[in-house]
Amino acid sequence: MKPNRLKLLLALTLFLSWISYLGFLVIQTTRGIDGKPVRLSRPQFLTSQLDLIIEPHTQDSTVVAQVTEVLYSALNDKTPKVGDIVTINNLELPETQNKFWLAPLRSTDSGKSFEIVPIPPSPGFSGRTIKIYPAFDGVLLQYKKLPKP
């Protein structure tokens, strides 16, 4: 075989390998209800006091949440238990059919009610964005990779 054909074959093999790898990454991406990729905000979880998987309910025109799992707590004895109903002051649910949500929270009055921690400001980003995340397997894998203090 001529050297030029060998180089072309090598370049073609590398190109197809790269495209295959990109396709693999697209397939493995955790997607939300709307089809967009879900990425956790690391600063939001680093500043939270309590990370819960919740199941929200509407009760007397107020959204309350039942705790289904406690992932992290810095509140010690004021940590809600699995099955407890907690009040989350700034909880606004997206219009989806998802049942379970991952919520980074902080206590507002000694562990009686909570609020979702906003994403902290950083250079070029003003912050104050409040996000909760669908509790999909891929999202929980991302969460487990986040370091907590």
Q: What is the pLDDT of residues 31-61, one digit of tens each?
A: 776 677 888 989 999 999 999 999 988 777 6
Q: What residues make up the domain containing 52?
A: 42-145
- 7-21, 48-62, 106-120: range with highest mean pLDDT: 7-21
- Do the Cβ atoms of 117 and 106 come closer than 8 Å? yes
pLDDT tens digits, residue range 69-83?
A: 999 999 888 899 999
Q: What is the pLDDT of residue 18?
A: 98
CA distance 12 to 71: 47
Average pLDDT estimate for 13-37: 88
Average pLDDT estimate for 16-34: 87
- pTM here is 0.77
CA distance 137 to 103: 15
Residue 35 counted as domain residue: no
Examine the domain organization and report whether 74 and 133 are in the same domain: yes
Examine the domain organization and report whether 24 and 46 are in the same domain: no
Examine the domain organization and report whether 96 and 117 are in the same domain: yes
Count the neighbouring beta carbons within 10 Å of the beta carbon of residue 111: 17
